């Protein structure tokens, strides 16, 4: 495939979708690019090296796979990403003005570096975004249980486990990520929803539920978020 055709194919693929330093091309910062990609784009796109699992838009690994295998340069990928963010398709869900200036340059450079690249990030890139879900279990105290959405924008809660004492429990979810989330709770893994916070992108919200001893699942009700890993287990004794 000729280079102009490869470039056109890359634009077409992206048009289907939504939304210490390592320098890379035009002085872009890959560490900042990874952080900003996860925060602004990861809820909608899969990118294996960034460990993002959003499904609203296309997988960026798959979107560029054919073009890269046929000779599309990574500098062209960077240009495609920048163009798509600057001029999003109005028929899709990616908002206009998602990123600009040096932030957009960094995001585009990281996507160009990471898209369909085998293996995992190493060095500074490996630690650019904090691991989620591996924090200390949340513990109910005096009838109150606090949980938090990952502040970096990942589809996860900071704690994947929580404990509480049977009885009336007020559950509060804090979300400062800028990505819309909520927290719902159900008995087991498939029981009816017993309570939920409203959807929100900033701030915190609470609900009160009477819990019997047993195992419960807390999860985000935004489509695709639970399947991407935004859930945890609450053990009530």
**Confidence (pLDDT) at 73:** 96
Q: Give the chain's domains with CATH numbers.
A: 3-126 (1.10.760.10), 138-236 (2.60.40.420)
**And the tokens for 96?**
């206009």
d(CA 6, CA 229): 34
Tokens 């602004």 correspond to 40
Longest dimension (CA), the chain: 67
**Confidence (pLDDT) at 22:** 55
Q: In Å, what is the CA distance from 153 to each residue of 21, 52, 187, 208, 216?
A: 20, 9, 27, 26, 24
**Confidence (pLDDT) at 13:** 45
**Confidence (pLDDT) at 4:** 39
Compute φ and ψ for 158, nearest 5 degrees.
-65, -25
Q: Cα 27–29–31 angle (5° rounding)? A: 165
**Confidence (pLDDT) at 176:** 93
Mean pLDDT, 10 residues at a time, the chain of 237 residues = 42 43 69 93 93 90 96 96 93 88 96 97 92 82 96 91 98 94 97 96 96 98 92 97
Compute φ and ψ for 52, nearest 5 degrees.
-100, 150
Which among 176, 159, 30 is positioned nearest to 106, based on CA atoms?
30
d(CA 134, CA 164): 18
pTM of the predicted protein model: 0.75
């Amino acid at each position: 495939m000729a280079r102009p055709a490869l470039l056109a194919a890359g634009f077409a693929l992206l048009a289907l979708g939504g939304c210490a330093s390592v320098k890379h091309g035009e002085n872009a910062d890959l560490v900042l690019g990874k952080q900003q990609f996860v925060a602004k784009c990861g809820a909608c796109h899969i990118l294996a090296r960034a460990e993002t699992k959003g499904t609203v838009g296309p997988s960026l690994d798959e979107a560029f796979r054919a073009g890269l295998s046929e000779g599309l340069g990574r500098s062209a990928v960077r240009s495609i990403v920048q163009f798509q963010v600057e001029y999003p398709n109005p028929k899709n869900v990616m908002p206009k003005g998602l990123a600009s200036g040096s932030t957009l340059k960094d995001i585009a450079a990281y996507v160009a570096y990471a898209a369909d690249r085998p293996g995992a990030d190493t060095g500074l890139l490996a630690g650019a975004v904090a691991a989620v879900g591996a924090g200390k279990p949340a513990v109910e105290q005096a009838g109150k249980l606090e949980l938090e959405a990952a502040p970096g924008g990942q589809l996860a809660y900071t704690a994947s486990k929580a404990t509480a004492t049977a009885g009336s429990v007020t559950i509060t979810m804090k979300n400062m990520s800028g990505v819309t989330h909520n927290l719902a709770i159900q008995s087991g893994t498939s029981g009816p929803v017993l309570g939920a916070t409203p959807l929100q992108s900033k701030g915190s919200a609470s609900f009160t539920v009477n819990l019997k001893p047993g195992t419960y699942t807390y999860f985000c009700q935004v489509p695709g978020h639970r399947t991407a890993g935004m859930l945890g287990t609450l053990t009530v004794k």
